[in-house]
A and B are shown apart, each in its own frame.
Chain A
Amino acid sequence: QVTLKESGPALVKPTQTLTLTCAFSGFSLSTPTMRVSWIRQPPGKALEWLARIDWDDDKFYSPSLQTRLTVSKDTSRNHVVLTMTNMDPVDTATYYCARTYNYGSGSYASDYWGQGTLVTVSS
């Protein structure tokens, strides 16, 4: 059974750095078909892809946020960590991590999602 769960602070102040952890089970991030993505959703708005880390430690970031984002993994502990620097009230959102599966031939999809964690940025 595949599960993912996000954890981190519910409230951060402007200019602070946000650190979120995705704890997963039921798959290994050392398997070539596996990736973990981070996606966020501001209240009442659309999904926005943030970052992804692949089984081989390749990392990919949203072009608009790449200077603020860092993703890393601890394969032995089944954790993926996302940090976002210089937080602003517009970054208030529910942050999701998801398993992204490689179906082959350049086809990927996020087939399991965490429950999400709401992060509010306010002084």
Chain B
Amino acid sequence: SYELTQPPSVSVSPGQTATITCSGDRLGDRYACWYQQRPGQSPVLLIYQDTHRPSGIPERFSGSNSGNTATLTISGTQAMDEAEYYCQAWDSSTEVFGGGTKLTVL
């Protein structure tokens, strides 16, 4: 079965750029999306179709996908961005989540 791999944790200083990666075999050949989940809350869609932001998502969130890696970039990271982040992609009509990355804003 298809697998997506994320680093368990990423740390960033306020105002700096955070990069969270998601790796999978030929991931760039399929679309990826990203979710943010704060403690005790439901996930929120941040990025769909590799690079698109839903209405209401701040411009500091951006995405890319090429080769075997999709990347979520948070520019000018804020304390409120401290959360768990999940990537997702589709494989043979089933959906796969990455294992999640805990973003800590130090």
Contact = CB atoms under 8 A, between A and B. Distances in A.
Given A63-B1, A96-B42, A109-B88, A49 B54 contact: no
A49 B31 CA distance: 16
B43 A47 contact: yes
B94 A37 contact: no
Interface residues of B, number: 25
Interface in B60-106: 86, 88, 90, 93-100
Given A106-B31, A106-B90, A111 B54 contact: yes
A106 B49 CA distance: 9
Interface stretch (A12-20, A22-30, A79-87, A113-121): A113-121
Nearest to A62: B94
Contacts of B97: 39, 46-49
Interface of chain B, main secondary structure:
strand
A110 B94 contact: no
A100 B94 CA distance: 12
Contact of B93 (A39, A46, A60, A98): A60
A49 B97 CA distance: 7
A49 B94 contact: yes
A98 B48 CA distance: 15
B54 to A, nearest CB: 6
A106 B91 CA distance: 10
B22 interface: no
Nearest to A35: B95
A1 to B, nearest CB: 13
A98 B44 CA distance: 10
A111 B48 CA distance: 9
Interface string A86-123: 00000000001010110101111111011110000000
7 contacts: A37-B95, A60-B94, A63-B94, A103-B48, A108-B31, A113-B42, A116-B42
Top 9 closest pairs, chain A to chain B, by CB: A109-B48, A49-B95, A107-B31, A113-B42, A107-B49, A109-B33, A46-B100, A47-B97, A46-B99
